[in-house]
Structure formats: structure tokens, C-alpha cells
Structure 1
């Protein structure tokens, strides 16, 4: 594993103000949160969210998995959406230039006593992880999961359990996937996950039929389903020692031929729904739900409400009982499900 080099932190603007945390109940287990950032996953191709194909065979069997049907992205590219999620600024106010030198969600969590680590199987953290431990996954970690210049997302699990249990404190792990990044969809999953056939096996999408492109894309979603289910399984196994939470949200969606459009990056106000409507999944251990007195029926009732990347910053802070000058309880998705 390769440690990411930190970005310059000169003239860092601290927007946190006073950071406070409600002490956990006496005798509580440490808190462990997986915040999984997907790549190029669109809600339309998740079986759990209405897709007619079996793209979520494993997650479909996970109990107490909460789904959000109306989740939208901050942008239509990783360069916008990723820093926007962690900035707390919200889509209307966010600009890359005004987020670079501000403290972000990871800084706030660190100040609140959470041990943060960023694990990356993508193109880096865009400066978000400049002040926290960060690991770029490399082929030498698990060679069987890597080919040429890329690795499959299961590599994010390599050594993860040990890194958690070696440090039995409150923790947040950000797991940044390569997910469904195109146009080389067929390279995003092992051969054993080529379930939908035939597939497009070239970056020249014009040389493939729409069915071949869609088959390859749906195979990436089916592999993501496998990886996410393994992450939840790890959290289930650790729930006797930690109160565990799993959050998955994609950075943006993708066009795969609808109306002649491909890939992503369209101007937001003209972008099709396929590029902005994204999946979000939430799982919490029984221990965490009891600790916060969260009723499953309440969380289920939120399923069809409109949420966006704007909510992630505040929801994660709320999960950790941390507040700063930027925290907005009206944007904390689970606030309504926690007793006052």
C-alpha cells in the first residue's frame, strides 16, 4: 500500500468554529463507520432501486438495509462531486476553488476524536484527505486483484479488518471505489462476474451495440454489489466489538446511450437524470441502533424523500454526535429518527 502525499495546507481556513461531541454512553463500544464513495454508479441500474435485472443478488439478502430512492449528486463528475460531499457547502454554493483550502468533514471528525483513514482505489482524494492518513491501494497488496494499471475494488478490503482491530477506538474509514468508471467497463470486474453477455470490451463505445454496453455496465454494478456485501459482512463480524455503520453513496451517475449520450460530465442544469440520480444505501448494527434509539420503521419512512450529497456531511456528523459551526440539523437525514 502506498501512502498518499499530502496536499499543501498553507492558508487553511478553519470553518469549524467550536467542535463539540456528546460523550457516548458509559460502557459503549467504539464507533466504526464505513463511508463508501462509489464511482459512476447510477440508481437506475440498482436492482434494489427498481432495475429489472438481478444486479444486487447479495445486497438483496442483507437485513436492515435502508434504501434511498431519490438521491441526487452534487455534480456530474468526480472532480466536482467528491470534494463537494466533504465540504459541507452544498451544491448551490460549492466551487472547487473555494473548497480547496477549507477544513472539511474529515478535519471535523478528527477534531471530534474520530480516527479517520482514507483508502483509495480510484484517482486520489482530490485534496480531501490531505490532513488524515491515506492509503492508495497498489498491486503488491493483493496481486490477484490487479491487472496492469488498475485493481478491482475488493482490494479495499485487504488488511482492513486488521487496521481496524489494531486501533480499538472510534473510527471512520472512507473507501473510495473505482466502481463503474467508463468507458472501460469490462475492466472494472473480474472475469467471474461477467454475468450479462455479450459485453462491450473496448473503450470505443461506438463500436458496440447498446445491449453490449449495458451488459458490461450492469456487470460492474453486480460486482459492486459483491464488494459492498463483503464490507457489510465485515461490519457484522465486528459488531461484537464496535457499534458499526455502513453508508454507500455514488459520486455521480452515467449515460450509456440514452438519447445518444454516453459517460458523464454534462453541465448540471442540462444533465439527464441518469447522470445525477444516484444510489445511497445505509446499514447500522443493532448495537448502534440501540445506542441511538433509532427505530427501523422511522428510517424506512425516509425512503422516498428527496435527498442529495448536501445531506452527507451533516448526517455523518450527526451519526458521530459531533457538531461544529457548519452543522445543520435540517440536513441530517437521521436527525428525525433520533430522540431529542
Structure 2
């Protein structure tokens, strides 16, 4: 048993070792998988990383505790609790805690985050978070003299610099893999990347950059419905050649076309920004619904999801709003987006209408809860949020059922639009990003786009046109930015920022 009274130096060394032991399996798994660990150079890098991690963490903890033992304990408890949750997700879903993932976490609502609760997560929190925290809280730390602090500080600092200098040639490998290594180093992965996220956010335009005014060219009644998919990957749509019939209705519907497309991000906020903006940029330009609404187009936004840029329109309806006017089982699923939509369109007095339906149909890990029971076409299905415990067949079946349900929603929407005889209508279905389903031991999404697998980037881009309306160009491969310019074209909106090369219609 550890003594209740312990010197600060010994305490930080113990805590650094415990932190190393509990939270860095994935870190060193990555290291071993990406270098020749049997070579002298590989062994040197591994030893260097172990020593550097132990000493650096002890060094930082020592500085914090010397300044304030209360603050030090508070931070360490917080670190251990957050790290326990972080390594659960790293080990279970093979995620990395980089700036993109921090953005995903901070933009996640309770409804989504609560779906990840599992017995495994509780075990991680108890054994890796709560138990070490009890020791941290109870132990009495003997504060050291200022003279000893200076001595420890200087010796440790010199040792770290010496270690870096001696291993200078090996730091080329570390630098090359710094993004992934940094995203797996606890607790600094989320500490540093959370800081980076808020710094980046503070630098963004606080007010969107307005686009040049647009003009409506004619009075012909036209309606464009943009359906934004959630975590839908084209690989599992039978329209794209998937062997299982996941699109039984759309495959029989006339005037339905599917195009290869790639998302520009692997997370919802990034994907939505690309879909709604006229160009792929880090700046915050006026998004499509805001732009059209400001230029006298009727805009309706209905959502069961979140993550969109600020939407400045009159008719914005979230799930809670829609439930007020909805009855029946469909109100618990994405069918709610269609409830009363046709009537709302008919009530409009404007000639040009844009409808945006933001779905959540294929978002994991609870794929089996995203569709009504009658849409469970493929069985058996994965019934746990710990996706790695499911067989490939179970996981694929659960996900494929969400695509079958998506097919039903899109088909139902098309049937509603067909009844609006006085309108030229089009539907565009574009997903925010794709989804990993165990390929390369990856699950869900959020891997940085620079090295994300194709499953998280290849998305469906499905278009339907009403009879007698426009035709389509022979588009081979599309991007999410094609949406903005294509909608302008279909609704006959003339704008200085319109790009004909990004338009899918003739």
C-alpha cells in the first residue's frame, strides 16, 4: 500500500507512471505498427518515447502541484475521468482525439451522446477514472521547498533537452507521425486540441460574409428539396451496385439518378458547411438557405439532427417543433420530416421554394434504433453500442436497414412532390459524410479527411426530377459544393457567384 503522506516528487512520478500504464495502449500500438520495432532505431524510438512521456508528464504535474495542490488534484481527477472515457472510445471505435474529434464532441447533443452509454464504458470510468481519483483525493502530498523545486525543475528540464538532442535523428519519424501520436497521448490530446478548437473558432468570422444580391429570373413555380443524409455511405446503396437490395423503391422510381460523390469532411458540421456553401473554404460565407431567404425565396428547414451553420430563416423546425403537429409511430423516426410538409408547401404564396430536410437516419452506434421495426429487413442485427462485439453480418444488417428506411423516406417524399402538379420539382439527396463499419478496425466516422478511409468519404448523391422539368448533365463525379449552384439553377436564381461548372442541370 502507498503511504498516505507522500513527497511531491514521488507522487508525480507515481501518477505519471499510472497515467502511462492506463491510457497509452493505443499510443504504443500505433508506434509498434508503424516502425520496425526489432531494429536498433525502432527500439531507440520506443525507449525514447516511454522515457519522454513519463518525465514530461511528471514535470508538468510537478509544476502544477507546486503552484497549488488543490488545483493540481482537481485537474488530475478531471484528467483521469476524461482520459478513461477517451480511451474507451479510442479502444472501442478506434477514433483519434484530434481537433476534428473535439469539434464533433463539442457539437454533440445529449440525445446522441447518451446512445453511447454501455456497461463497457462504465467499467472504464470506474477502474480507470474513479478508483485512481480516490487515491489522488485522499493522498496527502508533502509540499517541497522552493530550493528543491528549482533543483527538480532545472535537472528535469536539462534531462528532457538532452534526451531530445541525443535522439535528434529519430525525431523525423516522430514529426512525421506527430498528428496521430498527439491525438493518442493522454491527457494532452484533448487538452491541447480543445484549446486549438476554441482558438480556431474565435478566429472565424463571427458574422457570415454576405454574398452579392441575387435575382429571381422568372415566375415559374419551382421547388427544390434538399435532403441531407447522415452517415450514409454510397457503398451500401443498391443504386450504387451493392449486392443487397437496400433501395427497393428508388430502384423502381422513374427519373431517379445516382452519381458518385465525395464529402469534404468526415464529420457533420464540416459536411453540412460544404453542402450549404458556394465553395469549399474555411471562411463563413452566407449559406444557401440564408441566401435564398434573403432574396425572396420561400425556405423551409426541417431537422431531426443538428450541426448546421447558423440558419437565419422564418420556417425552421426541429424535432420538438415537428412533434407538436405529428401523431403516430412515425413521429419517433425521420418520417416526421414529411409530416405536414406538403400542406406547408401548398400554403406558400411564393413561386420559388427551397426545402431542406436534415435527417439522422444512419447515425451510429444505435443503427438498430433508427428505423421502425417493420424496416428490419436484414437479420440478425447488432444490438449493442460496442460495435466491435458484433459480427460483421450483424453490423452490416443493422446499418443496411437504415438505408432501406432512407429509401422509403425518399420514395415517400417523391410521391408527395409528384402530387404538386403546378410545380417543377427536384429532390437532391446528399450525405454529410460516410461511415466505417469495421473496415480496418474503424467504426463510425470522424477520422481526419487527409487520411480517412474511403468508407467515410464516398457518399450518395441522388437526384430526382419531376416530369417536364429540367434534364441532367452527364455528371460523372460530384462534390457537396455542387448543391449550392445546382439549386440556384433549378430555381432560376441569377447571382454573380453562380458557377455553371458546379451545376448538375442542363
Could you state the TM-score of these two structures normalised by the residue count of structure 1? 0.83
Whole-angstrom distance in 2 between the partners of 1:203 and 1:23: 51
1:246 is matched with 427
SS in 1 for 2:224: strand
Equivalent position to 2:265, from 62, 69, 75 = 75
| Matched-pair contact (CA < 8 Å) for 1:15–1:325 | no
Whole-angstrom distance in 1 between the partners of 2:349 and 2:422: 9
Change (3 A) 1:209 1:141: farther
Higher RCO, 1 or 2 (CA under 8 Å, sep at least 6)? 1
Paired residues for 1:1-340 under 5 Å: 12-24=207-219, 28=220, 30-68=221-259, 70-90=260-280, 94-95=281-282, 98-99=283-284, 102-123=285-306, 125-127=308-310, 129-138=311-320, 139-145=323-329, 151-169=332-350, 170-238=352-420, 240-289=421-470, 294=471, 299=473, 301-302=474-475, 305-334=476-505, 337=506
RMSD between aligned residues:
1.8
| Matched-pair contact (CA < 8 Å) for 2:290–2:312 | no
SS in 2 for 1:222: helix
Greater strand fraction, Structure 1 or Structure 2 = 1
CA drift of 1:143 comes to 4.7
Whole-angstrom distance in 2 between the partners of 1:88 and 1:74: 13
2:82 is matched with none
Whole-angstrom distance in 2 between the partners of 1:206 and 1:163: 43
CA drift of 1:88 comes to 1.6
Could you state the TM-score of these two structures normalised by the residue count of structure 2? 0.57
SS in 2 for 1:287: coil
Whole-angstrom distance in 2 between the partners of 1:209 and 1:40: 20
1:6 is matched with none
Runs of 4 or more off by more than 4 Å in structure 1? none
CA drift of 1:111 comes to 3.4
Paired positions, count: 299
CA drift of 1:11 comes to 6.2
The one-character-per-residue Cα deviations of 1:99-150 (angstroms, maximum 9, x if unpaired) are 1xx32211221233310011001125332x2334200123444353368xxx
Whole-angstrom distance in 1 between the partners of 2:345 and 2:212: 29
Unaligned runs of 5+ in 1: 1-9
| Matched-pair contact (CA < 8 Å) for 2:246–2:407 | yes
Whole-angstrom distance in 2 between the partners of 1:258 and 1:13: 38
SS in 2 for 1:217: helix
Unaligned runs of 5+ in 2: 1-204
